[in-house]
């Protein structure tokens, strides 16, 4: 009986070490999923562009930008957990949408993914897809 209790206690201690020692595991257990590297790589391959006469189509890669000008982005957005940053200032999703709406046709946006939540990342990605704005995803 003593051996059984010792084994149960050891399992409980090991479980606690894993749970508290690895925050990613505790987030998954609590339902706070984050974008994994495989999901981020898939998102990096996604690009969207408007095929209308107002905007030209461009291939956007994870390495960054329009093939003709790899350093030129109309807007750089950083998503960290569930927060959005433009020019190192935190802004809300509605402010971000206003910034995006104010861009010229054919603009390309760079998204820096700093362990963003899937919900926050998808909110930006879905809005850009809806507006048919090209973007590039970079994992920091």
pLDDT in tens, 1-28: 899 999 999 999 878 776 677 666 656 6
Statement to judge: residues 16 and 45 lie in one domain? no
3 state DSSP class of 134: strand
d(CA 59, CA 75): 17
42: pLDDT confidence band, cut at 50, 70 and 90? very low
Q: Range of 77's domain?
A: 34-139
Statement to judge: residues 74 and 135 lie in one domain? yes
Distance set, CA 55 to CA 6, 64, 96 (Å): 68, 19, 21
d(CA 128, CA 49): 9
pLDDT digits (tens, 9 = 90+) for 61-116: 444 444 444 457 788 888 888 888 988 889 998 998 988 888 888 888 888 888 88
- Phi-psi category of 54—alpha, beta or left, where left has phi over 0 and alpha has psi -120 to 50? alpha
Statement to judge: residues 41 and 103 lie in one domain? yes
Token reading at 50: 């408007």
Statement to judge: residues 28 and 39 lie in one domain? no
Statement to judge: residues 106 and 45 lie in one domain? yes
Q: DSSP H helical segments within 30-117, as ranges?
A: 37-44, 93-101
Statement to judge: residues 117 and 102 lie in one domain? yes
d(CA 19, CA 22): 6
């Amino acid at each position: 009986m003593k051996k059984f209790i010792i084994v149960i206690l050891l399992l409980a201690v090991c479980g606690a070490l894993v749970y508290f020692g690895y925050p990613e595991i505790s987030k998954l257990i609590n339902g706070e999923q984050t974008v994994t590297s495989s999901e981020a790589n898939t998102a990096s391959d996604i690009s969207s562009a408007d095929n209308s006469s107002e905007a030209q189509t461009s291939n956007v890669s994870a390495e960054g930008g329009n093939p003709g000008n790899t350093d030129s982005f109309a807007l750089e957005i950083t998503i960290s957990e569930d927060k959005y940053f433009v020019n190192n200032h935190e802004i809300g999703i509605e402010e971000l949408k206003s910034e995006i709406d104010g861009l010229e046709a054919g603009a390309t946006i760079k998204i820096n993914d700093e362990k963003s939540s899937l919900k926050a990342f998808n909110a930006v990605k879905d809005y850009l897809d809806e507006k048919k704005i090209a973007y590039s995803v970079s994992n920091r």
